[in-house]
Amino acid sequence: GAVVSQHPSWVICKSGTSVKIECRSLDFQATTMFWYRQFPKQSLMLMATSNEGSKATYEQGVEKDKFLINHASLTLSTLTVTSAHPEDSSFYICSATRDRDTEAFFGQGTRLTVV
Amino acid sequence: GQNIDQPTEMTATEGAIVQINCTYQTSGFNGLFWYQQHAGEAPTFLSYNVLDGLEEKGRFSSFLSRSKGYSYLLLKELQMKDSASYLCAVMDSNYQLIWGAGTKLIIKP
């Protein structure tokens, strides 16, 4: 199966700083990448959908100026949490698809803790 | 609105069989996915159904009935490592994945 690598696996940062999370498709070109957030004991919540070379589409309630998404190439998307606060502490997961109607492959996830 | 329903929690015995149901109401349908998620980890892909019927993959099988908006995941010969959450997701007409809340499966010896 296809491999999606997400980095870092976990990060602890101070309140007010910014954190960048990378999502790479290692052996395929990802037409679309998705960013999710998951709070403990809750389901995945889609934050945004990004297509290579175009602006990300954010879900309602997700601040695009706070969660910056860059999908610069067909194999790399980044999520930057700007001016992080403790309430941003969560599990962030990316996924990528080759084509629109194929299964999504997930990265390992990034556990962000803001102190 | 779009909705995916699955039981919150199920308990089964090691070596037994368990069926996890999923019903959905979505705007369009482009396939149904089942994922397994262990606590603290990202989901891993289990199965994909786009046509009616049963797809078998080892100990896991997934069934789809589009007319009923219904799917189930069948797990046979349960092992302790199968304890996890099982997520049902439907791809709608815009090729967006709509996620269920997940079913927590507890396996007892």
A16-59 per-position pLDDT tens digit: 999 999 999 998 898 889 999 988 767 788 899 988 778 899 99
Q: Which pLDDT score is estimated for A101?
A: 60
Q: Which pLDDT score is estimated for A1?
A: 60
Whether the CB-CB separation of A112 and A89 falls below 8 Å is answered with yes
**Interface residue B100 vs chain A (CB under 8 A):** yes
Residue A96 has pLDDT above 70, yes or no: yes
**Interface residue A58 vs chain B (CB under 8 A):** no
- Pairing mode, strands A32-38 and A45-51: antiparallel
Residue B96 has pLDDT above 80, yes or no: no
Q: Which pLDDT score is estimated for B98?
A: 85
Q: Which pLDDT score is estimated for A2?
A: 74
**Interface residue A113 vs chain B (CB under 8 A):** no
User: pLDDT by residue (tens digit) across A60-74?
Assistant: 999 999 999 998 888
**Interface residue B69 vs chain A (CB under 8 A):** no
**In percent, how much of chain B has pLDDT > 70?**
100
Nearest to A104 among B97, B100, B101 (CB): B97
- Answer yes or no: do B87 and A43 touch at CB < 8 A: yes
Please give the full DSSP string across B40-73, using - where no structure is assigned: TS--EEEEEE-SSEEEEETTEEEEEETTTTEEEE
- Answer yes or no: do B43 and A34 touch at CB < 8 A: no
| Residues A31/A74/B87/A112 CA torsion (nearest 10 deg) | -140
Rounded to whole angstroms, the Cα distance separating B89 from B31 reads 9
- Answer yes or no: do A104 and B95 touch at CB < 8 A: no
Nearest to A109 among B30, B42, B99 (CB): B42
Whether the CB-CB separation of A33 and A6 falls below 8 Å is answered with no
pLDDT band at B94 (very low <50, low <70, confident <90, very high): confident
Q: Which pLDDT score is estimated for A51?
A: 84
Higher pLDDT, A90 or A103: A90
**Poorest-pLDDT segment among A40-49, A76-85, A95-104, B8-17:** A95-104
Give the nearest chain A residue to B48 (CA atoms).
Answer: A103
> What integer is the mean pLDDT of B4-14?
96
> What integer is the mean pLDDT of B16-41?
92
pLDDT band at B36 (very low <50, low <70, confident <90, very high): very high
Distance from CA of A54 to the nearest CA of B (A): 17
